[in-house]
Structure 1
Amino acid sequence: MDASAWIAVVREDGEAAGYLEPVTSDYDVVQPRSVLGHVAGEQSGYLAGEDLQCERVISKLIKPRKLKYAPGALSGPLAILEVSPHGIMVADALLVKALAPSEKAIVSWPDVEHCHEPAVSGP
C-alpha cells in the first residue's frame, strides 16, 4: 500500500496525531490511521476524520510493548522512544524509566500490510 497520499494530522501542540488516507480521490471520504499506520476508526468525511485523530490520545504509545521476534536484550517490556518515517525506535522500558543506557531497536513502519503484526504489541 502506498502511504504517500496520506495527510498527517497534527494537533495544536505540534504532536502528530495520525494520518488520513484518502478513500476517494477528492479526499471527501478518508480512512483514519494511527501514527503506526494502522486503521484507527471507521471511514468518514475529512473533517470528522481529522477531529477523530485530534481527539485520540497518544497514551496508547506510552504503554509497554513487546517485540514478537526480539533479540535477548529486547525480549522484555519495551518503551517506544520515537515514531518517525524511518521506523519505531524501542528500548527496554525499565531501563528507559530509570534513565539508564539500553540497547535500542528500529521496527519498520508503516506496517499497513500487517507484515509484522503484532511485532510491536501492547500488554
Structure 2
Amino acid sequence: MDTTGWLATQRDDGETVGYLEPLSGDYSLVQARNLLGHPVGGPTEFLEAEELLIDRGISELAERWSLRDAPEELDGGVVILEASPDGIVVAHADLAKAGVYGRRVHVPWPDVDLLLSRETPAARET
C-alpha cells in the first residue's frame, strides 16, 4: 500500500497518534488510521478524522493483541514493542510482563492485512 500521501497526526506534545489517508485529492475526505495503519471509523472529513485520532490517543498500543498465523511460541497473545513506518515489532505478552521478551516478530507497516487484532478477555479464556 502506498502511504506517501498519509499525513501524520500529532497531539499538542508532538506525539504522533495516527495517520490520515487521503481519499480525495484535496484531503477533504480522509480515512483515519491508528499507528498500526488500521482504519479507525469510516471515511470522514479531515478535521473530524484528526480530532478522532487525537481523542483516541495511543493507549491501545499497550493492550494485548493477537497475531494471525503466529508461530507457536507466540500463541497466547502478543504485545507491541515498537510501531513505526519502519515496521511493527511484537513479542509474547506474558513474557513481556516479566521483562523477558523472547522471540520478536516483525509485522510490516502499515498492517493493512490486519495481522494484528486486539484480544478480548473472552478470547483468552477459550
TM-score band by shorter chain is 0.7 to 0.9
Q: How many residues align?
A: 119
Give SS of 2:4's match: coil
Aligned AA (1:65): W
Which deviates more, 78-87 or 92-101?
A: 92-101
- TM-score, normalization by structure 2: 0.83
Q: Does 1:120 align with 2:112?
A: no
Aligned to 1:36: 36
Cα RMSD after superposing both structures: 1.6
Cα distance in 2 between the residues matched to 1:56 and 1:49: 11
Aligned to 1:8: 8
Aligned AA (2:19): Y
Greater helix fraction, Structure 1 or Structure 2: 2
Shift of 1:20: 0.7
1:26 and 1:104, CA in 2 relative to 1: closer, same or farther beyond 3 A? Answer: same
**Can you list the C-alpha shifts for 1:26-63, whole angstroms capped at 9, x where unaligned?**
11222211112122123222222211110013222221
Among all aligned residue pairs of Structure 1 and Structure 2, give the percentage whose two residues are the same amino acid: 45
Shift of 1:101: 4.2
The correspondence of residues 33-112 of structure 1 with structure 2, limited to 5 A, is 33-112=33-112
Cα distance in 2 between the residues matched to 1:13 and 1:52: 16
Cα distance in 2 between the residues matched to 1:16 and 1:97: 25
Give SS of 1:3's match: coil
- TM-score, normalization by structure 1: 0.85
Runs of 4+ in 1 over 4 A off after TM superposition: none
Task: Structure 2: state its 5+ residue gaps.
Answer: 120-126
Give SS of 1:50's match: helix
1:4 and 1:68, CA in 2 relative to 1: closer, same or farther beyond 3 A? Answer: same
